[in-house]
Every structure is written in structure tokens, then in C-alpha cells.
């Protein structure tokens, strides 16, 4: 069954090379939302896009850029992996709202309003006080809606996330997080957020990053699928997908860049524990993208029918992109 599915991974940040592209194909992945920047600003973002253009040129037999939702279907039909660009912070637009349309023209399809900290647009999940979406943030969401760039609140605080859901005229996404009821990580989301997200037509991508899982790297496949089943009861089967947050072949320096950027001279340990000072051990049943079939098997074993499995593994993402990526009519 797995090879017949459209399989969409709602987020990865790997040290991309041909070997990883081969793993994606072997795992039956149709499309992956690839983080291209965290704290990088405009020029650095352009350099990352240039690097990806080289990947596309040198690996055209394996990967292709995703410029619209139908490109995902083309990737499936041609046996390649579609790559959708995303940013995990609002740094690529700096303080200039006109950069939103420009970045969208360069195929940046998804942007988080903040990464853990207070940004110009919203408040991150690690701040002591969540001040909500800012004045600039309100205008940025309006512009993202207009050009067909998806609002992502994965690393945002509770109030900011609820604000974004209310402000956005189009459904938003939490591309890689889990229910707070499953594991009390700062990055995970409350039932209130998840219910509100579902009621607005938004989508949650379940994260396989061990720091966001009950029992960490020892979380079992059955525990993970139980979490999905419980969340389906809360949000509905049409509002959930997968966003692995897989970070393959990345050195420790990348983890430190993600957490520290240029804003801190001291090491930030994410959840606040020095035990999180390095990459976690991978899950035994999901070490890399070749293990995607294990998710399909686990969902079937949990009692999901084939239609429900297809939705969770990619069809919900595809429908979301069909509706969210098209620019609004003038």
C-alpha cells in the first residue's frame, strides 16, 4: 500500500545530498517541505536558494522543485521527490513587507512567524510572556494570505498562535509539533490550540523529533500511533499529517545555529536542560526517510483504514496546499 500513497513530510532540515535524496525516494516520499533558512537574512536566503538550484540541476532524476500543489502530483507521476521551500523564522523578510511577495516569487512557500524567540511578527514559545502577534505581524499575515505563502506557527507561543489563527483569512499550519498532552515540551501545543486550529481548517504535522515525544528516543511506534489516534479524535481525521522534523547528517554546529543564531553568546539548550545539548538518538523505527513505510504499517496496525492512512500520510497536506498556495484573486 505504501508505495501507492502520496507521502508528504511536512518538515525536514537535513544536510542535503544525493544519498538523502535516494533515501527519500526509497521511503516512498512524494514531497518534503525543506527548511532552507532559520536566522539567515535576505542575502543568505538567496544563497541557500542558489544552492538548491544546484541540487535540482545535479539530481534532476531524483528531485524537482515544487512551485504549486500540482507539482506534487507531477513528482508522484514521474517517480521523483518534490522539494518545497520553507523558512523557520521571519528573518528572510527582515523588516520589509515587500520581501514577502519577492520570497514567494522565489518559491518560498511556508514561513514561520517566529523561531522560539520574540520576533518582529510574533512571540516564540520560549519567551516568559507571549505578547501575541505584533502590528507588523498582522500586516505580514495579510500579505502572506494575498500571495499564497502559508503561515506556520510551529515554534510560536500560545497567544501568538491563537492570534494568527484568528487573524489569518486562510488556514494556517503547525507543520511539526505534537500535543502537549502527549509530552510537555514547550514546543508542543495545547488542546485549545489544536481544537482552534482544526475548527479553522488548519493542519498539524506530527513531529518525530525525540525531544517532542513521550519517552524521547525510546518512544515506540505504537505510542506514536496512539498519539495520532487520540489527536484524530480531538481534531478530526482531515486536519492531521506528518512533519517529521528530521535533521539528518547535521553537525552539532547546526543545532547550535538553530538555537542560538547570532542573538546569544551563550548556548541555549532548547527545553532548558543540558541533557539536550546534542542531537538526540534517533527512534529505532524511524532512523531516516527509508523508514516511512513503518509509519504506514503502524497506522494500519492501530486500526486506521486505508482511506484514513492515505489522508494522514499525505492527502491532507495535498488538499491543504491546493487551497493555501494559490494567490488570492485581486
- Identity of the highest mean pLDDT range in 60-74, 276-290, 316-330: 60-74
pLDDT in the model for residue 323: 95
Buried b (16+ CB within 10 A) or exposed e, 96-115: eeebbbebbeebbbbbbbbb
The cell numbers describing 250, all together, are 547535521
To the question of domain 93-324 being in CATH 3.90.1150.10, the answer is no
Question: Which whole number is the average pLDDT over 61-83?
Answer: 98
Helices 191-199, 158-167: inter-axial angle, 10-degree rounding = 10
By C-alpha distance, which of 166, 157, 229, 159 is closest to 199? 166
Q: How far apart are CA 126 and CA 118, in angstroms?
A: 9
pTM attached to this predicted model: 0.95
Mean of the per-residue pLDDT values of the chain: 95
Is the pLDDT reported for residue 275 higher than 60?
no
Check if the beta carbon of residue 31 is closer than 8 Å to that of residue 72: yes
Q: Cα–Cα distance between 88 and 216 in angstroms, integer?
A: 23
Q: Is the pLDDT of residue 276 over 70?
A: no
Mean pLDDT of 123-136: 96
Helix (H/G/I), strand (E/B), else coil: 289? helix
Q: Hey, where are the domains in the chain?
A: 93-324
Residue 224 CA to residue 213 CA, distance in Å, equals: 8
Amino acid at each position: 500500500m505504501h508505495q501507492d500513497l502520496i507521502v508528504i513530510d511536512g518538515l525536514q532540515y537535513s544536510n542535503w545530498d544525493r544519498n538523502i535524496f535516494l533515501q527519500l525516494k526509497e521511503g516512498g516520499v512524494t514531497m518534503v517541505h525543506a527548511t532552507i533558512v532559520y536566522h539567515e537574512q535576505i542575502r543568505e536566503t538567496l544563497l541557500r536558494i542558489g544552492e538548491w538550484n544546484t541540487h535540482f540541476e545535479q539530481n534532476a532524476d531524483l528531485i524537482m522543485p515544487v512551485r504549486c500543489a500540482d507539482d506534487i502530483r507531477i513528482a508522484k507521476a514521474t517517480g521523483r521527490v518534490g522539494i518545497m521551500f520553507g523558512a523557520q523564522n521571519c528573518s528572510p523578510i527582515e523588516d520589509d513587507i515587500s520581501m514577502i511577495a519577492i520570497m514567494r516569487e522565489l518559491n518560498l512557500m511556508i514561513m514561520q512567524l517566529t523561531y522560539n524567540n520574540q520576533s518582529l511578527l510574533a512571540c516564540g514559545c520560549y519567551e516568559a510572556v507571549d505578547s501575541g502577534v505584533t502590528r507588523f505581524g498582522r500586516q505580514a499575515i495579510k500579505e502572506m494570505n494575498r500571495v499564497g505563502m502559508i503561515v506556520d506557527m510551529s515554534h510560536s507561543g500560545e497567544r501568538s498562535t491563537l492570534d494568527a489563527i484568528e487573524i489569518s483569512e486562510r488556514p494556517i499550519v503547525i507543520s511539526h509539533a505534537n500535543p502537549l498532552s502527549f509530552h510537555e515540551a514547550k514546543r508542543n501545543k495545547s488542546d485549545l490550540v489544536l481544537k482552534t486550529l482544526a475548527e479553522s481548517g488548519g493542519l498539524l504535522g506530527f513531529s518525530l523529533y525525540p525531544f517532542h515525544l513521550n519517552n524521547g528516543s525510546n518512544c515506540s511506534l505504537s505510542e506514536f500511533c496512539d498519539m495520532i489516534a487520540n489527536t484524530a479524535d480531538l481534531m478530526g481525521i482531515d486536519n492531521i499529517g506528518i512533519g517529521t522534523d528530521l535533521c539528518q547528517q547535521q553537525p552539532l554546529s547546526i543545532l547550535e545555529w538553530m538555537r542560538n543564531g547570532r542573538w546569544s553568546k551563550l548556548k541555549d539548550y532548547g527545553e532548558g536542560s543540558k541533557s539536550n545539548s546534542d542531537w538526540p538518538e534517533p527512534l529505532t523505527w524511524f532512523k531516516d526517510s527509508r523508514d516511512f513505510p513503518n509509519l504506514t504499517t503502524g497506522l494500519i496496525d492501530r486500526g486506521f483504514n486505508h482511506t484514513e492512512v492515505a489522508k494522514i500520510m499525505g492527502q491532507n497536506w495535498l488538499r491543504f496546499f491546493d487551497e493555501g498556495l494559490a494567490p488570492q484573486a485581486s
